[in-house]
Amino acid sequence: MGKLYDKLMEDYRLKEGLNACINCGTCTAICPAAEFYKYDPRRIVDMVQSGDDSVIEELLKSETIWYCGECMSCVTRCPRKNAAGLIIMALRNLSIETGLFMESEKGRQMYILAKDLNHNVLNYGYCVYPRNFPYEGHPEAGPVWEWEHAHLDDVFERLGANLDGDGPGAMRKIPAENLEQLKRIYDITGATERLEKIKQAGLKKAAELGLTEEEYIQKLYTEGTKMHLNHC
Partner 1 sequence: MIYEGKQKIWSEYQKEIPDDHYFYVRSCIRQSFFPASERTLLDIARNKLGKDIFETEHHTTCGGIAYHSDTIPQETVMTIIARQFALMAKNGYENYVCSCITSFGLYCETLETWREFPALQEKIADNLWKSCKLEFAKPKFLVHASDLVFKYRNQIAAKGKYKLVNIKTGEPLRVVEHIGCHYSKMFPSKGVGGAEYPYVLVGMVEAWGGKIIDYPERRHCCGFGFRQYLIKSNRSYSLSNTHKKFESMAPFEPDMIITNCPGCPYFLDRWQYVIAESQGKTYGKDGRGIPVFTYEEVAGLVMGYDPWDLGLQTHQVPVEPLLDKIGIPYDPAKKYLGKDGKDIGKPIQPSCLK
Please, which of residues 14-53 interact with ligand SF4 by CB under 6 A? 21-27, 30-33, 41-42, 45
Nearer to partner 1, 20 or 188 (CB): 188
Interaction partner, residue 47 (ligand SF4, partner 1, none; CB < 5-8 Å by kind): none
Distance CA(199)–CA(107), nearest Å, equals 13
- Window 46-105: residues binding ligand SF4 (CB under 6 A): 68-74, 78-80, 82, 84-85, 88
Interaction partner, residue 27 (ligand SF4, partner 1, none; CB < 5-8 Å by kind): ligand SF4
# residues contacting partner 1 (CB under 8 A) = 92
Contacts of 129 (CB under 8 A, 6+ apart): 120, 171
Contacts of 221 (CB under 8 A, 6+ apart): 112, 137
Whether residue 69 contacts residue 33, with contact meaning beta carbons closer than 8 Å, is answered with yes
Angle between helices 84-97 and 53-61 (to 10 degrees): 80
| Residue 33 is a binding residue for partner 1 (CB under 8 A) | yes
Question: Exposed, middle or buried, 209 (CB in 10 Å: 0-12/13-18/19+)?
Answer: exposed
Shortest spacing between CB 127 and partner 1, in angstroms? 4
Interaction partner, residue 136 (partner 1, ligand SF4, none; CB < 5-8 Å by kind): none
# residues contacting ligand SF4 (CB under 6 A) = 28
Nearer to partner 1, 52 or 99 (CB): 99
Helix (H/G/I), strand (E/B), else coil: 26:
helix
Nearer to partner 1, 52 or 174 (CB): 174
Q: Which residue of 52, 109, 123, 211 would you call a contact of partner 1, by CB under 8 A?
A: 109
- Window 41-70: residues binding partner 1 (CB under 8 A): 66, 68-70
Q: Which residue of 19, 24, 29, 169 would you call a contact of partner 1, by CB under 8 A?
A: 169
Helix (H/G/I), strand (E/B), else coil: 31:
coil
Shortest spacing between CB 51 and partner 1, in angstroms? 22
b/e sequence 40-78, b meaning 16+ C-beta within 10 Å: bbbbbbebbbeeebebbbebbbbbbbbbbeeeeebbeeb
- Window 1-20: residues binding partner 1 (CB under 8 A): 11-13, 15-16
